[in-house]
Chain A
Amino acid sequence: GESVGLHLPTLSVQEGDNSIINCAYSNSASDYFIWYKQESGKGPQFIIDIRSNMDKRQGQRVTVLLNKTVKHLSLQIAATQPGDSAVYFCAENTSGTYKYIFGTGTRLKVLA
């Protein structure tokens, strides 16, 4: 399939290592955040979300950290696997608007 994000920032990690993908969001009024994974030729896939009343949320192998002071969001992937190779986007939302603003994305490459 086609490649999404040929000119995106790229993070290369060894299989089994932990990955950290960062995102700076733009609107201080945003109170809901989502991380999406997008593989080539597919639409974005929901990974994990977090609301602004939290600063950390954990999923199965993923953790999202939110720092509202500096408007920064990060996604940590534990024991990165080849199937994690994709482009990752953060999206921000303000309650009641149903409007999501996406960041520019980071390409994650997992090296065997």
Chain B
Amino acid sequence: EAGVAQSPRYKIIEKRQSVAFWCNPISGHATLYWYQQILGQGPKLLIQFQNNGVVDDSQLPKDRFSAERLKGVDSTLKIQPAKLEDSAVYLCASSLSAGGQYFGPGTRLTVT
């Protein structure tokens, strides 16, 4: 079974630029999550989708972050404009039901 795929793996941008991350969950997984993991901390949930609907985006900084999951499969997370404090690893995870999540390798974002 293929795992969760993410791209790019690394991205370096200057502050005020925009960036987009892509995630392809495990086939058949209805629930998709985006997390932000700052160095030295545990992952923090940004947004959760159930199929193509948003279940929880309470911790998403909506003035600069946006995410979509068209057709209930792939998802993109965008940051516009980026700030220095957005430097982190962005993890995508998916789950079939109320069980363990499966994580992708993450995208390491550095904002300079």
B100 contacts A43, C-beta separation under 8 Å: no
A43 contacts B42, C-beta separation under 8 Å: no
Q: How many A-B residue pairs have CB under 8 A?
A: 63
Q: How far is the CA of A8 from the CA of B40 in the complex (A)?
A: 6
B93 contacts A5, C-beta separation under 8 Å: no
Which listed residue, A43, A91, A95, A103, touches B91 by the CB 8 Å rule? A43
Among residues of A, the one whose C-beta sits closest to the C-beta of B108 is A2
Residues of A within 8 A of B91 (CB): 43-44
Among residues of B, the one whose C-beta sits closest to the C-beta of A1 is B108
User: Would A98 and B41 be within 8 Å (CB), given that A41-B105, A49-B100 are in contact?
Assistant: no
Among residues of B, the one whose C-beta sits closest to the C-beta of A8 is B40
Among residues of B, the one whose C-beta sits closest to the C-beta of A94 is B98
A46 contacts B101, C-beta separation under 8 Å: yes
Where chain A touches its partner, the secondary structure class is: loop
Interface residues in B, total, Cβ within 8 A: 29
Q: How far is the CB of A67 from chain B (nearest CB, A)?
A: 20
A102 contacts B43, C-beta separation under 8 Å: yes
Q: How far is the CB of A4 from chain B (nearest CB, A)?
A: 7
Among residues of A, the one whose C-beta sits closest to the C-beta of B39 is A6
Among residues of B, the one whose C-beta sits closest to the C-beta of A43 is B103
Which listed residue, B55, B56, B98, B103, touches A45 by the CB 8 Å rule? B103
Q: Give the one of A34, A44, A99 with max B CB within 10 A.
A: A44
Which listed residue, B42, B50, B101, B105, touches A103 by the CB 8 Å rule? B42
A99 contacts B48, C-beta separation under 8 Å: yes
Residues of B within 8 A of A49 (CB): 99-100
| B64 interface residue (CB < 8 Å to A) | no
Residues of chain B having any CB pair with chain A under 8 Å: 4, 31, 33, 37, 39-45, 48, 50, 55-56, 89, 91, 93, 95, 98-106, 108
Known: A34-B100, A100-B101. 7 other contacts (CB 8 A): A4-B39, A5-B40, A34-B101, A43-B93, A44-B103, A99-B45, A101-B45
